[in-house]
Chain A
């Protein structure tokens, strides 16, 4: 399998420690010419660190890197590009307001008479895209094209500015739909046939099996192993990622069954014709204690808008919102907080965590906001609360004084959950709580949501993964085109929901 002539990159015994965390411990990784190599693992497994070392963003504490059999020191990101390692990140980091051609050629423009030779810029860019079989008008602004095309332009750029031998794709499909993803996979196959080695990082197990030749699994900074994709079953792969047999998902279903038998229905929140022009059309929503309501819908169907309106981020211009017997007439996060509503927002980085504050400060933030300026929790009380939720939610950190920005995505999500649980809300709205986090933490969060419902809370669970909504919800609301399309009981089959989303029902 590992023919040494075919080997482009080999990383041996790589170790890296950050303050308080061992990110990588004696990890080996190898890449061959013309292979797609999937790199998988839970959040905090060390995938990002390994990539950063490959691209020179971080430097390993120990270990060696060989490129084409020669020992190299990847000093800086520029140097890694010079030696043929290209990276395309999850978020497309190009400029959407300038043309496709300019994006591809930026910093490498051909000149004549001391100015930029625009004809050549455009023709070079066209050639670069033709190589990838993409036929678009390169003089158009990049922002006119879909995210998928932008992603491919990013790949074209990275191949154009260097003669890349290695292409690293970090979660390239997270914002693509199925067709777009397939198009990207075709492109990857083409590059593979040209002899480029591709490192493919993804959370989607299906996609790993769809395109990859080999899989390297990391767990807690250690190498679990490298396997030929054909010889490793999905169940085995997930078991290796989690380091245990996968029984959590079954537990989730069981927990849901026990909750459903509880029939004391107490209405906690009632929205009547709540709506806002340009955001979401008027909708009715009843939330009961001991219940999880799932919200399903395609991207842009109004899921986040519904959450934001209910939580008071946006002010509705029609309808009413009643909590128990209290009618809400002032809409703001602070009011909602006082009324016992909580929202874990969709964009964890921008709307959730306060990165440069500690875990403790992040956890007490909402509770403190409700208490006001002058009822300050004592330091001792703050630590008590932080320690309680670190234990309860299993946040892995050496200390509550760790800065939140140093945590993995899954742990950051738990910190935000802790922030809201500390305020003891009646209604908990979770907008994409499992986005970008690994299988194990996903199951934990789903189970937690069901546990909270069992304790008497009402939970709203929003997710773009239908299977996840189906598994956790007692009732499912389907949104389509900024409108509530239908409401189903939790045992509805996925086909009905898909048909509703598509507008056939």
Chain B
């Protein structure tokens, strides 16, 4: 029964088909028009090059996209991830600040490559802050029955204020070198951030595919009422996805602040919520909830950054970049529309039958 559908059609209808085609298309264009785009060189035992940059840059977005996928699969959305990134970054910077709890503050103390807080505690506090933010969103949505867009909008607006409160309104520069490891370090020549993404991805994948959480998320996203009647705790599932999304955003905040060596309440993770939603949409998960693929969303994040770096390589000015991105969005949305689907099916099916006839 399963093999009755032709192989090519099955590939074409697979969730990963369009994201992979898009990625391949961008890379082919790079290969033709930007010689040396794929060149990877080794310097001080580390790998350098555009491809490594793409991975390194897209790591925070991939993390946020993983969390966002689960939220969107339940039929919700989390607009606060960008603000959560800022809170997590601010938390790290404040704890690192060697002047913390110190009454006598001199410039010498502030710019010292040292801290009074152990690194593990800094990391834990970062993650805890983000997870708490997620928990707050989850409580508003699942217990408060507030529409997800409105509920997360609260933290989206307030979150940046909280981040500034934490840093006392300052942009804090970080001088503590061990902290830079998350955003700039290498293990076996490969950026640390890629390892972090891999670990979070495997953890999330295990959670949704090897426990019943994934089934419940999809079932709640498709028909919350039926799920409730079947004994699925819709509330707890929603609480979980928002909390997990906050956790993912916190890790992204850690990497980002480590990468740019600073915490800036206004600019850390700016527009990340929109990019993350875009990544999920490129990955083919419907905004109305239901079936989802974590891998497709991660691919979505990769596509966004491949596109961005390609634009940089071609010398497109930063302010024109958004227009280019708009075109990308438009193409993706059109490709996913029913009309395009039917059109492509017709073309491919006709070709297939002609091919069959000649045999």
Contact = CB atoms under 8 A, between A and B. Distances in A.
**Do A and B originate from a single complex?**
yes
A401 B1 CA distance: 11
A333 B2 contact: no
Contacts of B216: 368-369, 373
B137 interface: no
Nearest to A419: B230
B215 A361 contact: yes
B231 interface: yes
B226 interface: yes
Point out which of B211, B226, B230, B290 has the most chain A C-beta atoms below 10 A from its C-beta: B230
Interface stretch (A224-232, A351-359, A446-454, A471-479): A351-359
B353 to A, nearest CB: 13
Contact of A356 (B1, B5, B215, B291): B291
A376 B222 CA distance: 20
A97 interface: no
Given A369-B216, A398-B1, A334 B233 contact: yes
B268 to A, nearest CB: 33
B78 interface: no
Contacts of B226: 350-354
B223 A354 contact: yes
A399 B1 contact: yes
Contacts of A278: none
A356 B222 contact: yes
B223 A355 contact: yes
Nearest to A335: B231
A398 B4 CA distance: 12
A333 B215 contact: no
Contact of B223 (A353, A369, A372): A353
A40 interface: no
A366 B228 CA distance: 10
Nearest to B210: A376
A87 to B, nearest CB: 22
A353 B225 CA distance: 10
B219 A365 contact: yes
Contacts of B218: 356-357, 361
Interface string A45-63: 0000000000000000000
A354 B222 contact: yes
Contacts of B223: 350, 353-355
Interface residues of B, number: 24
Contacts of A365: 215, 219, 227, 230, 232
A313 interface: yes
Interface in B15-67: none
A165 B2 CA distance: 45
A354 B226 CA distance: 6
Point out which of B5, B210, B215, B291 has the most chain A C-beta atoms below 10 A from its C-beta: B215
Contacts, number: 80
Contacts of A401: 2
Contacts of B228: 333
A371 interface: yes
A350 B224 CA distance: 9
B222 A333 contact: no
Contacts of A222: none
A353 B223 CA distance: 8
A376 B211 contact: yes
B219 A357 contact: yes
Interface in A1-40: 19-20
Contacts of A354: 219, 222-223, 226-227, 230
A337 B211 CA distance: 20
A345 interface: yes
Interface in B181-229: 210-213, 215-216, 218-219, 222-223, 225-229
A374 interface: yes
A343 interface: yes
A361 B226 CA distance: 13
A350 B231 contact: no
A364 B215 CA distance: 10
A20 B1 CA distance: 9
A403 to B, nearest CB: 10
Contacts of B227: 354, 365
16 contacts: A336-B231, A343-B229, A351-B226, A352-B226, A352-B229, A354-B222, A354-B230, A361-B215, A365-B232, A366-B230, A368-B212, A371-B212, A372-B212, A373-B212, A375-B212, A398-B1
Given A350-B223, A366-B230, 8 more contacts: A333-B231, A350-B225, A357-B215, A365-B230, A368-B216, A372-B212, A373-B216, A374-B212
